[in-house]
Chain A
């Protein structure tokens, strides 16, 4: 893959709060926003398709002259702000700098200026004999994107998460060792709320891997670690939240112990449920649902690809064991989804306890084609369309997935392709 191809690799996917807009960020620092077309009575079957709405360059590669380092332009995360007026706003971040973008629409243009003509050139004043009021005339829709704030110099280490507070005024950004709280209107100052950097870097044994604000309680947030623990923190308790309010940790299963136990327990993503009652975490082999009221262990554990447990050595060798998969809730918190290898993604129904494996590929993405469930066989009886573990393509990883906040529409990023799947018919998933 040449450098130009790598720039197209999608690095994050995020629906806005209504699901009308879907933003993707890529390795080349670009953001592409898709908009859902309104339902049309004339063509009910083409309702709700997503088309490109706007594309802009969010981040450029930077060179830190002090440290002689290149700062990647790759967009690590995008988070939408709740819409407060006609404009849409989102935060996008690379490893070091967060930016607030405002997206506005212009579909009218004033015509009939007194002092300038249609092309904007100044009129010869002697030709102006009467005064007219400029009139707003419709024009082709123009989407304008402008950077409103740049939040720089807040992070020494690589930013892995951003999360907007339910108060809609503040947000947090987390890197490997610290979490900062920002006010959306203030760029020259941030408050450090978590700092796990040891006095002596030789003592470093754990890093922050993800963090998120509680959807309803503006004082609560959670952060996950490379050792598989979750810490729920209350900002009312102290200015510096190094002491957690709750620590969620599952004791190691002695029967499954290996040299890789810690690596596979490292949490790669944490998401609060829409209800705010649960948290969803993804580690290398499982997704887990945690009840905020129970710290001792998760209430549910789902195996994503347990057949990899016997391959951990190879996966360590080729670094796949360090892949960071995301996870997502559906709108009603009844189904959870996460990606896997071979362009497979998995869905788990919490109520029926049924799960399904689907594939994001060109064959399956013909319009209105129904996705066929896939199966990975681990030896023993093999059905016709099964894939064997050894044939899995580990370069095709689905790391980034998103679920529409209300409907059964999912966005799957498969390397440099975006797949949007919609559930038109009530399937057996719920």
Chain B
């Protein structure tokens, strides 16, 4: 996974332990431990940062500070690599700089889209947790506290942002109900996972928009399914 060809232990990613340190870097023989000259470090540093960013975003609840610092560092690295002349001397044919440019441009777009959509997801997640919020909203007048209004919390449940809740898609929610009544295309895009690919960026923004009639219908369905089970209690 890393540019030097050494593998990190896979289980590190399974653990929720953010401080787990794989000891391979302590090996004095390992090239990365030694100081690398800045010019050559740029492209491997870029790769490393992208790796860190993806790893961070794949956490169920990313460490915001870590994420923000990695993103800002990545932006700095990108900025320094942007002009073709600033690219590190790569032993490759002359056509390489333009190819590298395209790679950078596409990875930049992909990166931006990933970052954008995933940071957007974070605010969707916050919309969920606003639902059991106490009366803190009474504080500063005229200010809306947090993201989505509490009433939309339930709706966000079925939105694309919480793929973790919909592992087996919306079908799972309605397993014991005759679904022929409300099989319609409205639900089709909503079962995307939490981790979007680069092309999901623009698509994601459109998916959560539902008009009023659909919201009402949705509420009826929810009320109907909730009648089958114990109604959710408040908060904790």
Q: Which residues of A are at the interface with B, using a C-beta cutoff of 8 A?
A: 6, 62, 64, 66-70, 72, 152-154, 156-158, 176-177, 180, 188-192, 201-202, 204-207, 209, 226, 239-240, 258-260, 262-263, 266, 310-311, 313-314, 316-320, 322, 390, 393-395
- B33's partner among A176, A189, A226, A314 (CB-CB below 8 A) is A314
**B42 closest partner in A (C-beta):** A259
| Least CB distance, B236 to chain A, in whole angstroms | 6
Q: Tell me if A152 and B65 are in contact (CB < 8 A).
A: no
- Contacting pair A262 B69 (CB below 8 A): yes
A70: contacting residue among B16, B145, B236, CB under 8 A? B16
Chain B residue at minimum C-beta to C-beta distance from A399: B19
In the complex formed, the residue of A with least CB distance to B116 is: A202
Contact of A69 among B60, B115, B146 (CB under 8 A): B60
Which of B101-109, B118-126, B210-218 lines the interface with chain A? B118-126
Contact with A along B15-32 (1 / 0, CB 8 A): 011000111011010001
Instruction: Check A156 against B129 for contact (C-beta < 8 Å).
Output: yes
**Contact call B25/A395, Cβ cutoff below 8 A:** no
**B134 CB–A CB distance under 8 Å:** yes
- Is the CB–CB distance between B135 and A188 below 8 Å? yes
Contact of A191 among B33, B34, B76, B136 (CB under 8 A): B136
Could you tell me if A319 and B136 are in contact, using CB atoms closer than 8 angstroms?
no
CA distance A266 to B141 in the complex (A): 32
Other CB < 8 Å A-B pairs besides A66-B131, A192-B136, A313-B32, 7 of them? Answer: A62-B236, A69-B61, A207-B68, A226-B65, A313-B45, A314-B35, A394-B26
Q: Cβ of B128 and Cβ of A66 under 8 Å apart?
A: yes
Report whether B64 and A313 are in contact in the complex, using a CB–CB cutoff of 8 Å.
Answer: no
Known: A153-B134, A188-B134, A209-B65. A317 touches B32 (CB 8 A): yes
A204-B68, A322-B69 are known contacts. Are A239 and B140 too (CB-CB below 8 A)? yes
The answer to whether residues A68 and B235 also contact, given A201-B120, A202-B116, A259-B73 and a CB cut-off of 8 A, is: no
B: interface residue count bin:
35 or more
Q: From residue 32 to 85 of chain B, which have CB atoms closer than 8 A to chain A?
A: 32-36, 38, 41, 45, 48, 52, 60-61, 63-66, 68-69, 71-73, 76-77, 80
Contacts of B132 in A (CB 8 A): 153
Known A154-B136, A192-B136: A266·B25 in contact at CB below 8 Å: no
Tell me the smallest distance from the CB of B20 to a CB of chain A, in Å.
Answer: 9
Q: Are A262 and B21 interface neighbours, CB within 8 A?
A: no
- Cβ-neighbour of B64 out of A68, A157, A202 (below 8 A): A157
**In the complex, A25 Cα to B125 Cα: how many Å?**
29
Contacts of B17 in A (CB 8 A): 6
Q: Does B152 contact A (CB under 8 A)?
A: no
Q: Taking the nearest CB of chain B, how far is it from the CB of A297, in angstroms?
A: 22
Complex contacts, A394 vs chain B, CB 8 Å: 21, 26
Question: Does B91 make an interface contact (CB < 8 A)?
Answer: no
CB distance from B97 to the nearest CB of A (A): 22
Cα separation A357 to B93 with both chains bound (whole Å): 53
A263 and B69: CB pair below 8 A?
A: yes
Given contacts A62-B236, A67-B128, A156-B146, whether A317 and B25 have CB atoms under 8 Å apart is yes
In the complex, what distance in Å separates the CA atom of A140 from the CA atom of B34? Answer: 60
Report if B170 contacts A (CB, 8 A): no
B183 CB, min distance to chain A CBs, angstroms: 26
> Contacts of B68 on A, CB cut-off 8 Å?
204-207, 226
A34 to chain B: closest CB distance in Å? 25
Majority-rule SS of A interface residues:
loop
Residue contacts A-B, CB under 8 angstroms, 11 given: A6-B17, A66-B128, A69-B60, A176-B64, A191-B140, A313-B35, A314-B25, A314-B32, A318-B25, A322-B69, A394-B21
Known: A154-B136, A202-B119. A259 touches B60 (CB 8 A): no
Contact assessment for B26 and A311 in the assembled complex, using a CB-CB cutoff below 8 Å: no
Asked whether, in the complex, the Cβ of B60 is within 8 Å of the Cβ of A68, the reply is yes
Residues of B within 8 A of A318 (CB): 21-22, 25
Contact status B140-A240, CB under 8 Å: yes
> From residue A374, how far is it (CB to closest CB) to chain B in Å?
20
Bound together, the chains give a CA A177 to CA B145 distance in angstroms of 12
Cβ A207 vs Cβ B65 within 8 A: yes
A207 with B138: CB separation less than 8 A: no
- Chain A min CB distance to B14 (Å): 13
Q: Kindly provide the distance from the CB of A184 to the nearest chain B CB, expressed in whole angstroms.
A: 16
Interface string of B125-156 (1 = CB under 8 A from A): 11011111111101111010110000000000
Asked whether, in the complex, the Cβ of A191 is within 8 Å of the Cβ of B139, the reply is: yes
Distance in Å from the Cβ of A133 to the closest Cβ of chain B? 45
Query: In the bound complex, what is the Cα–Cα distance between A202 and B112 (angstroms)?
Result: 9
Specify the chain B residue showing the minimal Cβ separation from A175.
B64
Q: Judging by beta carbons under 8 Å apart, are B143 and A202 in contact?
A: no
Q: Is the CB–CB distance between B72 and A192 below 8 Å?
A: no
Q: Which of B63, B135, B146 lies in contact with A158, CB distance below 8 A?
A: B63
B191 within 8 A of A: no
| Contact assessment for A316 and B48 in the assembled complex, using a CB-CB cutoff below 8 Å | yes
Closest 4 CB pairs of A and B: A201-B119, A176-B64, A191-B139, A68-B164
Asked if A189 contacts B77 (CB within 8 A), the reply is no
Which residues of B sit under 8 angstroms from A176, Cβ to Cβ? 64-65
Q: Could you tell me if A189 and B135 are in contact, using CB atoms closer than 8 angstroms? A: yes
CB-based nearest B residue for A262: B72
B203 nearest CB across to chain A (Å) = 16
B110 CB–A CB distance under 8 Å: no
Task: Answer whether residue B165 sits at the interface, using C-beta atoms and an 8 A cutoff.
Answer: yes
Cα distance, A318 to B33, chains bound together (Å): 10
Instruction: Check A260/B164 contact, CB under 8 A, given A153-B133, A204-B119, A322-B66.
Output: no
Residue of A nearest to B41 (CB): A313
Most buried by B among A69, A70, A177: A69
In the complex, are the beta carbons of A177 and B133 less than 8 A apart?
A: no
Closest to A176 in B: B64
Residue of B nearest to A324 (CB): B65
